[in-house]
Structure formats: structure tokens, C-alpha cells
Structure 1
Amino acid sequence: MAREIVYTGFMSLDGVVDSPGGREEGHRSGGWVARTPFLPEAFALKGEELAETSALLLGRHSYQAFAPIWRDSEEHAPWKDMPKLVVSTTLREGDLVGGWGPTTILPGLDEVARLRTEDDGGALFIHGSAQLARSLAEAGLVDRYHLLVFPLLLGAGKSIFPRADREEQGLSLRSSESYDNGIVKLIYDVVR
């Protein structure tokens, strides 16, 4: 069985994934996840994903944003020693953050496609990395979506879904759950 590529993330009802944790990326509504009342059960998905994650798949921008923070964060300790795969044509070995587990730079989507065909190694989970997620979706390389949809509309902002006119892509609902704080968990398999 081939490795799966899974996008996991926080999303507004109108599909924006931009700056859920803060304003670092310049989105005027940055930090929107923290403004929703916290319920542990609504975020349990993140812990559940660890059991099947073999590596984090990140774009350059998300890697550079996450690495210095996640490396030293107790909250993100389970991901510390996990392999990181960073898709970038501009990142160099000297740009990598030490002490955050093994990191491999992949120069393009062909390398991601090759990794996906391997029979062992487990699922590759994309965190953040909206541009990478869009590119992978356009190339037909995303196998599953794990979405925590928040009860707000942000308007403009980054999306993980391609906006260009394209062929319809079917999804099959694997599971869903709603929580008292308005968050809805949606897990979809991409129909091939």
C-alpha cells in the first residue's frame, strides 16, 4: 500500500487557513483559533494523527515559521524528533534549524510523488503550508483532508484548495463531529 499524503489544518467556514495562530503572516484577523472557546475534545484529532504520521511535509514558509517555535515548545514536543520533509527550491541546508529532528529538502513535487509511491513509511502529514497543499492537490497528490472548521468568516486569505477552473474532485466523508464551541471536524478521503 502506498503512503498517503494528508492535509491537516484549521480552516474558517469560508475556506481560509491564513494565520490561525497569530498575525505573523500579515492577515488582519490572525490568531483566530485562540479566539474560539477551547474544548479539548475539539482538538483531540491532532493527538490522534500522531499515531499514523511518519513525517511532516512542509513548504518553506511554514517550515521557517514553525521550526524555531515548535522545536522548543512542550505543546509540540511529539513532533520534535519526527522527520521533516520541506518542499523548496530556495531553502538550503544552512537554513535548516538544528535540534528539530531530521530534515530533508525536496526540490519539487516529483520527489513528493515518488515518496508517495513507497510501500512503507506511513502517512505524510501537511501542517500549514497552504501553497504546497494547493500545488499537491492540483497534481492529484493529496489523499485525505483532516479539517477543523471554525465558526467564522474571514473573507480574504490563503486557501488550500485550487481556485482555477478544473475538473470536479469527489470526496468521501470518512468521519465528522461537531462540538459545542462551533468547531466541526471533517475527515474526507479523496475519491480517485
Structure 2
Amino acid sequence: MARELIWTGFMTLDGVVDSPGGVEEGHPQGGWVLSTPFDEEAFSLKGEELAETSALMFGRRSYEAFAPVWNGSADHAAYQDLPKIVVSSSLDEADLHEGWGETRILRTTEAVAAEKAGEGGAIFVHGSAELGRRLGEAGLIDRYHLLLFPVTLGTGKRVLPTSAHERQDLRLRDSAAYANGVVKLVYDVVR
């Protein structure tokens, strides 16, 4: 049985996933997650995900942003020993962050499809908007875990298709609304 491939991330009401943690991530209005009042319950999805995660997947830019922060972070200690997969055509083995557990590089969407077809549990794609969009367009994403934030940015990276494409239906699996205005939306891709 094929592994599930799940994209998880933070999204603005208008679909932007760009720079949730700060302007240093590239968007001039970055940091919108941190400017939303903190509600621990709104982030409970992250703990729920961990229970079914067998591997983490990142695009190159997200890997380069997350690896130095998450490695050694008490908040991300549970990620330490999970296998990591980086999808990149330019990253070399020498560029991988040391001490963050097993990390492999895949070069193509076809290699991701082969990984997904193998044995094992769910693979979670964290952030990585361009990778998530490419994998979604290739029909490889099985589920979307969204934490929708009550802010609009207008422009920025998006994980869902931004151009003409075949209709893709989604089925709501779970949802919740929190006091800070964040909404959890978990959708299965209908095949």
C-alpha cells in the first residue's frame, strides 16, 4: 500500500503561505503567524500530525530555513529522529545540516512518486509551497492540513494551484475554530 503524502502549513485567508515566521523568509509582510494572538489549542494539529508522521519532506528553501532552527529546538525535539527527505535539484550532500538525523535528497517529482509508492507511514511536507504545489499538480498529495489565519496579504507564495488546472475535489476530514480566529481545516484529496 502506498504511503500518504500530506502537505501541512500555515495559510492566510487569501491562500498565501509565504513567510509565516518573519520578513527574513522573503515576504515584506512576513511574520503574520507571530502577529496573531497565541492560542496553544490552535496549534494542537501539529501534535496530532506527529503521531502519524514517519518522515518529513521539504523543498530546498524550507529545509535551509527549518534545519538549523528545528535541530536542537526543544519545541521540535520529536522531529529529531524522524527521517528527512529534501527535494532539490541543486542541494548537495555536503549542504545537509549535520546532527539532524537521517536525511536524503530526491531530485525529481518522479523520485517523490517512487518514494510515496514504497512501504511505510505518512510523509509530511512542511511549508515548501513550490514543492507542495508541484506535487499537488502531479496528483501526489493525499491530504492538506491547513491552519488558516485571519489575515490577507494579497500576494505571495501559494501551495494550491494558481493557474488553470483540472478540477480537484477535496473532502473535509476535520475542522475546528479557535478563539484567536485561526481555523483548522483538514482535507482529503478525492480520487
Normalised by the size of structure 2, how large is the TM-score?
Answer: 0.98
Secondary structure at the counterpart of residue 101 of structure 1? coil
Paired position in structure 2 for 1:151: 150
* CA distance in 2 between partners of 1:72 and 1:124 (Å): 21
The equivalences for 1:100-139 within 5 A come to 100-118=100-118, 120-139=119-138
What is the identity, as a one-letter code, of the residue corresponding to 1:124?
A: I
Count residues with an aligned counterpart.
191
Cα shift at 1:134: 0.6
Q: Larger deviation: 39-48 or 72-81?
A: 72-81
Cα shift at 1:146: 0.4
* CA distance in 1 between partners of 2:98 and 2:75 (Å): 18
Secondary structure at the counterpart of residue 113 of structure 1? helix
Which ranges of 4 or more aligned residues in structure 1 deviate by more than 2 Å?
none
Paired position in structure 2 for 1:175: 174
* CA distance in 1 between partners of 2:180 and 2:38 (Å): 7
* CA distance in 2 between partners of 1:29 and 1:79 (Å): 28
Cα shift at 1:111: 1.1
Quote the RMSD (CA, aligned, Å). 0.8
Paired position in structure 1 for 2:139: 140
* CA distance in 1 between partners of 2:19 and 2:76 (Å): 17
* CA distance in 2 between partners of 1:45 and 1:153 (Å): 22
Paired position in structure 1 for 2:160: 161
* CA distance in 2 between partners of 1:111 and 1:162 (Å): 21
* CA distance in 1 between partners of 2:135 and 2:181 (Å): 29
What is the identity, as a one-letter code, of the residue corresponding to 2:50?
A: L
* CA distance in 1 between partners of 2:84 and 2:26 (Å): 25
1:26 aligns with 2:44: no
Paired position in structure 2 for 1:37: 37
* CA distance in 1 between partners of 2:23 and 2:54 (Å): 30
Cα shift at 1:135: 0.4
Q: CA offsets per residue over residues 12-40 of structure 1, 9 Å max, x none?
A: 00000001011122211111101111111
* CA distance in 2 between partners of 1:27 and 1:115 (Å): 32
Q: CA offsets per residue over residues 104-141 of structure 1, 9 Å max, x none?
A: 000111111011112x3100001010000010011000
* CA distance in 2 between partners of 1:72 and 1:62 (Å): 17
Paired position in structure 1 for 2:187: 188
Q: Provide structure 1 residue ranges, at least 5 long, that are not aligned to the other structure.
A: none
Secondary structure at the counterpart of residue 123 of structure 2? strand
Cα shift at 1:94: 0.4
Cα shift at 1:161: 1.0
Paired position in structure 2 for 1:91: 91
Normalised by the size of structure 1, how large is the TM-score?
Answer: 0.97
